[in-house]
């Protein structure tokens, strides 16, 4: 059941009505049944995986919470339960990748070997809910949170339908208290949630799906394209991926808000970031903070020597790349971001004693340069993220500036190759204007709250224009999956 499907359009209002009609102490039952129904709609077999994860982690957390004095055994239970999660993830997501690469390595040294491959469908959202499970177990072990005693409530925490497919990766300290103590209905919160969902649908339907046509056209048939076509397709992909993923997140956060639950915001205008470090503080925030707290800091973070610090950064981003998919493209993409951060940490203007860090005016002037440079660096890395193979990524890099000496011909060849006339190009880029303005203003204010405070004759035309934009620019009759569902 996709968020952008008619089925979800019926599902959510029904759950909304049942949830608020039901007495508070039984609302978690509505959430549990609806979440498992939602997850089962992707395949009944997937339910067994998420249920197994829930049962094992629930029992392990109870032991960790009740036996705080048995330190050696607690540590062993934590290691075993975390390993169980990682083995499950490896089995479904990485087994074939490692098997194929090991076989290829043996063949290189003249040892014949055929890879053992498993024909298993990747359970939807497994990377998200397993990382959430691991953080819960570690937090209980550390004593940051108590173990949840109610199995049903804990099952909701793992499977809550707005976030189970693509996150955010929630922490127990934030979500579990909200499930234990449901709030009364608040019109403003529900209204805000619906507006947030509308904005998410605009990003997904009017921008991501529209741009995906041109991105797929080029990246799925690279030998037919050279020059500016490759640059434009890469730029379109950067916007497509952002709108697709953040659009999903807005719909997820909005769906939870109308049920009185606040999930973690996952994006904060990432393409206005002034550095790669700043970008990762704005992009997929729940994963970035997870990697920081459960990989980077345990490795030593920045509390170690310079070389070890660089290794910690690189390791963390390699893990991030591998988390995204079982492919060397993703690993290299993560490694590129790790190298970016290492180089960035050595730049003189990023040091604490630098005048650019102490003086706001100098910092603002520096940002005029670093923001577009950061976007270009992020866009460069997206090539490896989108290309099907490393060879495809190399092809893009080798051919994206072919013919740039004659700028007019360079641009004209793109129009011919992609079948884009000037009016058609402008039409496809029009939805970028509200996206740019929204993200720009969101740097200093909550745009939805700001519009909501305006008078009737101001805010309602904005709502109507947003609805018309969704209807006008969305791909008619097309229901596309969200990109991050594959992770």
Q: What is the DSSP string of 95-154?
A: HHHHHHHHHHHHHHTT---PPP----PPPTTHHHHHHHHHHHHHHHHHTSSPPP--HHHH
Q: How does pLDDT run across 112-124, given as a tens digit for each residue?
A: 878 888 787 888 8
In the 8-state DSSP scheme, what is residue 295?
I
- Count CA atoms within 13 Å of residue 327 on its CB side: 16
Please tell me the least confidently modeled range out of 9-13, 99-103, 228-232, 319-323: 99-103
355 pLDDT exceeds 80? Answer: no
pTM listed for this prediction? 0.92
Query: Average pLDDT for residues 21-40, to the nearest whole number?
Result: 94
Q: Which residues are catalytic?
A: 324
148 pLDDT exceeds 60? Answer: yes
Q: Is 132 within 8 Å of 170 (Cβ atoms)?
A: yes
Note the helical H segments in 220-326: 228-257, 276-280, 285-291, 306-324
Candidates 98, 137, 133, 134; CA nearest to 118 is: 98
Q: Could you report how far apart the first and last alpha carbons of the chain are, in Å?
A: 17
245 pLDDT exceeds 90? Answer: yes
68 pLDDT exceeds 70? Answer: yes
Give the burial class of 385: count Cβ atoms within 10 A of its Cβ; 0-12 exposed, 13-18 middle, 19 or more buried. Answer: buried
Q: Which residues contact residue 6 at a Cβ distance below 8 angstroms, ignoring those fewer than 6 apart? A: none
pLDDT at res. 238: 96
Sign of CA dihedral 132, 136, 138, 142: positive
Query: Average pLDDT for residues 330-353, to the nearest whole number?
Result: 87
CB atoms within 10 A of CB 328: 17
Candidates 77, 50, 65, 52; CA nearest to 139 is: 65
Query: Average pLDDT for residues 444-452, to the nearest whole number?
Result: 92
Percent of the chain with pLDDT over 90: 65
374 pLDDT exceeds 90? Answer: yes
Confidence tier at 189 by pLDDT (50, 70, 90): very high
Q: How far apart are CA 147 and CA 36, in angstroms?
A: 22
Query: Average pLDDT for residues 385-405, to the nearest whole number?
Result: 92
In the chain, domain spans? 6-182, 189-486
Confidence tier at 100 by pLDDT (50, 70, 90): confident
Q: Which residues contact residue 83 at a Cβ distance below 8 angstroms, ignoring those fewer than 6 apart? A: none
pLDDT at res. 244: 94
SS3 helix, strand, coil % of the chain, rounded to 5?
A: 75, 0, 25
pLDDT at res. 359: 66
Angle value at C-alpha 112, between 108 and 118, nearest 5 degrees: 100
Percent of the chain with pLDDT over 70: 97
Confidence tier at 364 by pLDDT (50, 70, 90): confident
pLDDT at res. 96: 86
Query: Average pLDDT for residues 15-22, to the nearest whole number?
Result: 96
pLDDT at res. 477: 54
Between 311 and 366, whose confidence is greater? Answer: 311
pLDDT at res. 478: 56
263 pLDDT exceeds 60? Answer: yes
Average pLDDT, the chain: 90
50 pLDDT exceeds 70? Answer: yes
pLDDT at res. 411: 85
Confidence tier at 174 by pLDDT (50, 70, 90): very high
């Amino acid at each position: 059941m996709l968020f952008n499907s008619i089925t979800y359009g019926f599902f959510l209002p029904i759950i909304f009505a049942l949830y608020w009609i039901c007495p508070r102490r039984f609302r978690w039952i509505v959430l549990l049944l609806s979440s498992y129904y939602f997850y089962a709609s992707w395949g009944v077999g997937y339910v067994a995986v998420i249920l197994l994860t829930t049962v094992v982690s629930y029992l392990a957390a109870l032991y960790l919470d009740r036996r705080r004095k048995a330190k050696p055994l607690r540590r062993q239970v934590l290691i075993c339960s975390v390993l169980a999660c990682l083995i499950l993830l490896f089995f479904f997501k990485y087994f074939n990748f490692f098997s194929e690469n090991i076989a290829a390595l043996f063949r290189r040294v003249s040892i014949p070997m055929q890879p053992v491959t498993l024909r298993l469908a990747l359970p939807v959202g497994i990377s998200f809910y397993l990382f959430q499970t691991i953080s819960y177990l570690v937090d209980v072990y550390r004593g940051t949170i108590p173990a949840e005693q109610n199995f049903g409530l804990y099952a909701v925490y793992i499977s809550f339908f707005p976030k189970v497919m693509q996150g955010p990766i929630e922490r127990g300290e934030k979500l579990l208290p909200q499930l234990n103590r449901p709030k009364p209905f608040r019109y403003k919160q529900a209204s805000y949630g619906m507006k947030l969902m509308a904005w998410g649908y605009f990003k997904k339907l009017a921008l991501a799906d529209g741009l995906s046509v041109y991105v797929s056209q080029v990246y799925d048939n690279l030998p037919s394209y050279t020059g500016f076509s490759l640059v434009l397709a890469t730029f379109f992909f950067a916007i497509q991926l952002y709108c697709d993923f953040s659009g999903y997140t807005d719909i997820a956060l909005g769906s939870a808000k109308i049920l009185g639950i606040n999930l973690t915001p996952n994006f904060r205008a990432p393409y206005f970031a002034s550095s790669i470090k700043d970008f990762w503080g704005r992009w997929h925030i729940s994963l970035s903070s997870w990697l920081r707290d459960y990989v980077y800091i345990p490795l030593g973070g920045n509390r170690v020597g310079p070389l070890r610090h660089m290794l910690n950064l690189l390791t963390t981003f390699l893990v991030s790349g591998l988390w995204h998919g079982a492919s060397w493209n993703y690993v290299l993409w993560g490694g590129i971001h790790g190298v970016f951060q290492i180089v960035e940490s050595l730049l003189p203007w990023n040091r604490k004693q630098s005048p650019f860090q102490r003086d706001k005016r100098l910092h603002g002037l520096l940002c005029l340069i670093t923001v577009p440079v950061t976007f270009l660096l992020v866009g460069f890395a997206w090539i490896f993220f989108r290309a099907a193979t490393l060879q495809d990524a190399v092809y893009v890099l080798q051919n994206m500036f072919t013919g740039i000496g004659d700028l007019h011909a360079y641009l004209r060849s793109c129009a011919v190759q992609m079948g884009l006339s000037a009016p058609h190009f402008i039409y496809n880029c029009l939805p970028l204007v509200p996206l740019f303005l929204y993200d720009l203003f969101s740097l200093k204010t909550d745009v939805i709250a700001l519009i909501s405070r305006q008078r009737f004759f101001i805010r309602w035309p904005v709502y109507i224009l947003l609805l018309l934009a969704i209807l006008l620019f969305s791909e008619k009759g097309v229901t596309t999956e969200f990109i991050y569902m594959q992770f």
